[in-house]
Structure 1
Amino acid sequence: AKQNLYQPFRPPPSPIPPKFRSLDTAGKIEVLADRMGLWFEYAPLISSLYTEGFTPPTIEELTGISGVEQNCLIVGAQVRDSIVQSNAKPELVAAFETGGAELLYEIRRLSTVQRVAAAEYIVEHGFDTKGAHDLARAIKDYPHRRGDKGWEEFDYNLPGDCLSFMLYRKSREHRSPSELRTTLLEQAFEVAVTEKAKKAVGRELHGYSDEERAKEEEVKIIRVPVVRLKFGEVAGASSVVVLPVCEAEEGVGKINEAPMEFESGGEFGVVEAEKEWRRWVVLPGWDPVVAVRRGGVAVSFRDDRKVLPWNGKEEAIMVVMDREKKTVEAEDGYYLVVTGDGMKLERGSVLKERGVEECLGMVVLVVRPPRDDDDEWQINDDEWD
């Protein structure tokens, strides 16, 4: 049977409550003038009058509701509807039953999920209009601040952490020490939710703890290069190295299966391996990689924060290691080991203290993917020996 593609037009449901739908123009004006019913019930009547040709100044003259308040009521009601439709907690919806249009108006630019979280935070902390405005701006602004100092220490899904980061960032605009800077940091610490965020703010406020300072010193003497690829760098390299690639999720077995021997030869530099392998990567002929004659392999990770013993950048990395050097010998070197949380880099001295004698291999290089938005990240000198 031929499918009937015609679908009759069904207008969207009216935002006007049933009890107000039969009102004529005079009735709508009367309801608005006397504020009859709940604010989110009579707010749609304003839009209805607009469609009838009334202007904001005319409605203000007839009802006493200013143009600014009209807009606030209309938008606030729409935001409230989205929160109701998201199956938010009844107590949250009830909190905006007798008022709060001006607060909901401030979070209008957020997604529905963010609106619910922001509304809960506003109610819980008793925010006024300015507080709601600052919170919404902090949530909206956070993703655009990627790369700012401390950004990765705060949780984007938590309004408190977003607000904390905004205050933390503002504090850095003032000289240290200063009363204003200290006040902003104290506020940031107070609203921070996660432990990581509190530590980041605490470091700015009180300085590093002895434990954190020791870790910072350890990072300064890292004996493994961390390189960020540049776009087109491989194509322009005078020499390249080809390595088999394993995904960390594939496990230790896959790493051990990767070809140990492979070399290029002939006039065209054709790479020949002792066995077939599905995934390979071509890297510039950097000295640490070229030095691995046999047993080299690249292990790819989706999130560096779970792998590196120093602060990660929440991005993918590729760890190049020498499987010929499985014995832990160099105290200042780094090795790839298997832990309860998966594979990660560990310093030789730490492994020796634990009595670990063998690992998957010695790490010779950590490679970050190219970025077109931050030229300064091509090579991080702080992470070089």
Structure 2
Amino acid sequence: MTTTIETLPAAPPRSPFRAWAAERVFRYAVRDLPVTVSFPDGSRLGRGGPELRIVRPSAFFHRLGAQANIGFGEAYMAGDWTADDPAAALTPFAARMATLVPAPLQVLRRWVDARRPAAERNTPDGARANIHRHYDLSNELFEAFLDESMTYSSAWFEPGDDLHAAQLRKIDGILDYAGVRAGSRVLEIGTGWGALAIRAAQRGATVTSLTISVEQRRLAEERAAAAGVADRVTVSLTDYRDAGGTYDAVVSVEMIEAVGEEFWPAYFATLARVLAPGGRVGLQAITMPHDRLMVTRRSHNWIQKYIFPGGVLLSVPVIEEQAARVGLRVVRRRSLGPHYARTLAQWRARFEAAREQVAALGFDEVFGRLWEFYLAYSEAGFRSRYLDVWQFGLRAAG
């Protein structure tokens, strides 16, 4: 079998005027960037730096003109452009994300930005479909590039840490924020492949972990049994909105990005509803600048189309506001943004080293380039500090 999350258009949409306009905007945008954009005719743009090679200029600019951000990623998938180090080449673009397009042309956003498909709304049924498209691709795919804990979120590195040690440090940081210890009743929203639930159970806690991924549940249960904590870990195929019970600690690591703006109130209401008096919440969330969130919140980008359908990043002010509405307040926080850049760089290196293994699983070359771009694009976001990731400790206000 050959597998991709979405089907790449066989040929770029043809619109000579839009392609012409896209080329003008692109040339204007890169003229002062610390990159080298090279063309087949030997011409170059930029102030010098990591090289981005345009292989098929006509196809590249037609894709860019058709769907801007989405087209840029699709052009990489199709091989219309390439780079020896795509993360390095993309970082200068990410650093100037807000100003790449000249201010007078920002008003044209509504004509070039794709709109979010209604089918990707994170209703209970929609959320299951969205999660299935990514997390149920293949457990073996994720095993190919994650560390042995199968942790798919930012690590927290200290000197001497390898990726595995850094992932356990991150998990311990969240458990500490939530006050998890022997005897704690813990609710985890978003199981992943069970690493956090296992770590909490090894502290002596009893864990109920919620997931809506069938594949993740299966492997998480197997891993909990192998770790000898199956009696203290229950993995439930349950939507967070249906969570029941009362818990001393609620933990959730990089799941909130999949909730969607429409359902942020329901997510935070769940945290408050299930938290016992005096309980704590440990939350890890990827964030973007608040002003950029306000501008892009209704747009549909490449990551949403090909990687995380229905996903929307939050900002720190939004997290604080949503928490306050349900009587919670942030009492502790730490930023791990640079650590995520390092995590993604290691994942990308591991994925590239495992390309033959990935192909043997049935994933085609376009899928390989898709994931290469996804990991590099994300790394660039954190390297430039356009993106950040935070660990939050929350408690009831008052």
Q: What's the TM-score bracket when you normalise by the shorter of the two chains?
A: under 0.3
**What TM-score do the two structures reach when normalised by structure 1?**
0.25
Which structure has the greater CA radius of gyration? 1
**What TM-score do the two structures reach when normalised by structure 2?**
0.25
Q: Report 1 or 2 for greater relative contact order, CA contacts < 8 Å, sequence distance ≥ 6.
A: 2
